[in-house]
Chains A and B, each alone.
Chain A
Amino acid sequence: MTALCFQLKGRPEQRLDLSPLVPARLDGLNRKEIEGLSVATTREAVTVGDVFKVKGRDVQNLHFIGTDNRCDKIGAGLTGGDIVVEGDAGMLLGARMKTGKIAVHGSAGVLAGASMTGGEIAVRRDAGDQAGGVAFGETFGMKGGFIAIGGDAGDLVGERLRRGLIVVGGNAGDYAGGRMIAGTILLQGGAGRYAGYGNRRGSLIFADKPRHLLPTYVDSGVMEFDYLRLLETWLRGQGLRIRLGGRARRLVGDMAVLGKGEMLILS
């Protein structure tokens, strides 16, 4: 069966709520019923058929083509299946998702993977603020799974991260790993100011020495970490070739809060 494709007809006049377009909700619907689903975020009615050309049948394989930054909540609450976005995604991409895979060829908006509990999100270009952050009404950020951002990440990447792994290929904004509780963030291109602010037990891994270091992190020397080798192997399995080696300078903090988190600066 060919993937179920949603091709955007043109820039929508309003933001679109695409949270109904996940396998669990589409399963058992015929083409007409799918085209009749509402994706409006204003009082002006907009259905799938109004803004998308729909093709294909396989609801477990969804393709969004030509989408832009107004296409919100793609794959939100996903409970299985594959989603490919050939374009950009708006806010809350894969927010609260449990399992499944989302691949975005362009950029994602704010709160990508917010409060997700499992599954994978890969964004080829940039992600907005609070990737893996706290979704509305939640008390934790990402609670499991994997987010790979090829380009830059905005502020507060991994905000209040509970579990899981985030890899940023480019630069991260301010407060990277802000208030993270646990979990791991790998920053290949450095970060803005206040990285690891309020970090409790999480690990921030820097490929290079960051330009700004919080004074509430304390140096505890260069050490060998078998964990880094395991991570490198695991990432290779995901198709990401990132050289981590086994040695890193370890800083412990944030002493302003619990102080059991760490920054590993690869050497």
Chain B
Amino acid sequence: MDSTLQRAAELLSQARLPVFGGLFTDVKGAAAALSLARKLGGVVDHAASEGTSRAARVMRETGATPASFGEVRNRADTIVVIGNMPRTRDPKLLDKLFPARATLPRPGDNKRELIVVGAKKGKVPSGVRVTEIGGKNALPELVALLAAAVREGPFDIRDSALAKRILSAGERLRNSAFAVFVYDPAELDEPVLHTVLEAVRHLVKTTRAATLSLSAPGNGEGVNLCSTWTCGLPVRTSFAGDVPENSIWAYEAGRLLRSNEADALVWIDALDGEEATPPTRSFRGVPAVVLSSRPVKAGRDDVVIEVGAAAADHDAAVYLPQIAGIGMVKATAANSKRPTVAEVLSRIEALIDAKGAA
């Protein structure tokens, strides 16, 4: 183990621009990665940062009006599910959002209703009225059409049946006591996210409305929050300069590796039940230090360190969507001997420090 860590320290201390990718880890692992990245002037990026970066940009520019999962389940009378991803990511989503038994008193006296935009309605809990807004138009267009209907603006489509459904959905949203738009930011382009928020902003002039944004896989939100409280910026941040710099384009791990701008990769994939998709097949091209809880295919010169899976081999603080915050998850196999990501990275950092001092 010690010689492996020594090799990792060697590799990283020689790198010009190491990139910390994957980051499927708990908050402690993310904090250790950020600490090492700061020391080495590296870049941090999460494997599922496409959606979180976009959401962060939207939040920074115009703000947002999020609602928590429980609030949506208990109080929303109209739920708009946009795109396929929300239900692909969580097949039980609708059952959770529309529980069979009423929970808490809801505002207004509308029956609960579901509006599905740009996707097939699929299996819906019984007794829930559904409006399907789909057809030949692409998802961004359907969202724009619904937003136009919400503000009673005109639009121009040939499909008159669809037009009728869109108009009635717009009216239903205006008459809702609490309408919520559910989406995965990774599925919607940035301008589309903004149009959803515009619809919310229009609705809240007269009633209550909010968004429920699906959290990223692999503790993406937790890692993003950890990065933000550490350096003030979300992931896709470089620590090479005097001050950290964030750029969605420049500091995306895949781009840095493809362009050979990064000359070392630290790949972290150690969460129970989730697997990060590597940016390059089996890490070819750039020397890598791989911290994984799974057997990995790596190049001959790569350093592979087997670590414990967070929430399986050790207790872990991760982002929990159901509470919209970070919580502790108990380990399922507490007697595991495998080290945590945080332990391994701290030891590598100590070795690099020792080298620097020598």
Contact = CB atoms under 8 A, between A and B. Distances in A.
Nearest to A129: B249
Contacts of B144: 197-198, 214-216, 254-256
Interface in B232-275: 238, 240-241, 246-247, 249-250, 261
B244 to A, nearest CB: 12
B68 to A, nearest CB: 26
A226 B284 CA distance: 60
Contacts of B145: 215-216, 256
Interface stretch (A36-44, A49-57, A162-170, A183-191): A36-44
A15 to B, nearest CB: 6
Given A175-B189, A255-B154, A41 B238 contact: yes
A139 B249 contact: no
A257 B61 contact: no
Interface string A138-161: 010000000000000000100010
A49 to B, nearest CB: 19
B226 to A, nearest CB: 20
A79 to B, nearest CB: 22
The listed residue with most B CB atoms (<10 A of its CB), out of A160, A178, A215, A219, is A215
B17 A14 contact: yes
Contact of A255 (B17, B62, B155, B192): B155
Contacts of A248: none
B246 A218 contact: no
Q: What is the interface residue range for chain A against chain B?
A: 35 or more
Interface string B10-44: 00000011000000000000000000000011000
A197 B145 CA distance: 11
Contact of B195 (A14, A41, A217, A256): A256
Q: What is the interface residue range for chain B against chain A?
A: 35 or more
Interface stretch (B135-143, B173-181, B306-314): B135-143
Interface in B131-172: 137-138, 140-141, 143-145, 147-148, 151, 153-157
A14 B259 CA distance: 10
A31 to B, nearest CB: 25
Contact of B247 (A136, A156, A179): A136
17 contacts: A15-B250, A42-B17, A136-B246, A139-B62, A175-B191, A178-B191, A194-B189, A197-B195, A198-B195, A215-B137, A215-B156, A215-B157, A218-B155, A254-B144, A255-B148, A255-B153, A256-B145
Given A178-B191, A216-B147, A256-B151, 10 more contacts: A134-B61, A156-B190, A179-B191, A198-B195, A214-B141, A215-B155, A217-B156, A254-B144, A256-B143, A259-B153
